[in-house]
Every structure is written in structure tokens, then in C-alpha cells.
Structure 1
Amino acid sequence: MNYTYQNNQSGNGGFMTMHNDSEEVGRLTYTIMPEDNRYVISFVNIYPKFEGQGLGKLIVKEAIDFARDNNWKVYPHCSYARTVMSRMDDVQDILLKS
């Protein structure tokens, strides 16, 4: 299945939604701290009927791509995002541990 993402940024915060062909399947909220070049993933939520399909990892990857495009370091405040990122080999250059 194909998934699309919509980034709803307002000032230094926002949320990213993930959609399948017919509905929203989850969202990720974030805060941008431009003075520190920091992108904070606050919360990842995949709706219950879509859980267990690896979709949370996909939306975290989309957020990482957005941060990379803007040369931000990523701090995963959300424990789920932190776990996902700790298992990824290709994010050590942008992962902030605190």
C-alpha cells in the first residue's frame, strides 16, 4: 500500500499526518528549536486499527527526512521514536541523545 504524508507546520511546531488511500492512519507531533538546530519528536501515534504493521517506523523515517532536509539534529523525546531511531544504523549523524 502507498502512504502519503502531510506536514502541518506552524511557526516552531507542528504535526505530520500519514494517510493510506482512504484515511489518516497516524500522526507525529514535533517542535523545532531553530536556535539549537534541533528537531524534537514529541509524540508518535498510529491509530489502533493500523497498529502492528510497522507504520510508526515509516512516519519516524519521514520526520527524519524532513529534519535532514533542514539540517537539523533530531531529539526523539517520544520513547517510541527513540527506540526506533536507536535501531537504525543511518541516523547516528543526526541523533541527539539529550
Structure 2
Amino acid sequence: MEIIQHNTEKAGNFKALSDGKTAGLMTYTWAGPEKFIIDHTEVSPDFKGQGVGKKMVLAAVDYARKNNLKILPLCPFAKAVFEKDNSLSDVLF
């Protein structure tokens, strides 16, 4: 599984690809220069139950750590991932 990030000045996304197929998409919006809001996560029905959503959230966490950013997870799925894993709290806003 490959996670690809696309980023613009105002928003971006993390896309999960498996053998060229889109497995999932997680979108975010910038809330200033040091924070982004995860607002939506979706996983293709063919890939449900394979941890695709969590892989995208972890890719966002990795990106935030490398760039000294904070994340506000408004998406219910992303929020649940953060609530279940205290090791991610360093990037929470």
C-alpha cells in the first residue's frame, strides 16, 4: 500500500493506493501555517477492514512531526484513531 500526499496552500489530501487502485482518501484543510484539520476520511468498499484509514492518519501524523505541525481531527474516524493511541498526542491541537 502506498500513501501519496497532495498539498496546496489551502487544503490537501492523503490518498491510499494499492496496485494502482484508490483504496482510500483523507482530506484536510489548513488552519493557519502550523495546523491542519482532518475533515474527511473514506475507504473504498473493496478495502474495508484492511487498516487503510489508519494508514492515512499515520501518514498525516508522520508529515506533521517532520514539519512541526499540529493536527485537529474533526473527522470522526481520525478523531477515534487519535483517542485510541496516546502515542499520537504530540501532534494534537
Q: Normalising by structure 2, report the TM-score.
A: 0.91
Instruction: In structure 1, list runs of 5 or more residues that go unmatched.
Output: none
Q: Which runs of 4+ in 1 moved over 3 A?
A: none
The reply on whether 1:51 has 2:51 as its aligned counterpart is no
Gaps of 5+ in 2: none
Match of 2:6 in 1: 8
**Residue 39 of structure 2 aligns to a residue in which SS?**
strand
Instruction: Say how many residue pairs are matched.
Output: 93
Offset at residue 90 of structure 1 (A): 1.1
Tell which has more relative contact order, 1 or 2 (C-alpha 8 A, sep 6+).
2
The whole-number CA distance in structure 2 between the counterparts of 1:63 and 1:85 is 12
Q: Percent identity?
A: 30
TM-score, reference length from structure 1? 0.86
CA RMSD for the aligned pairs?
Answer: 1.2
Alignment of 1:1-98 (within 5 A): 3-35=1-33, 37-96=34-93
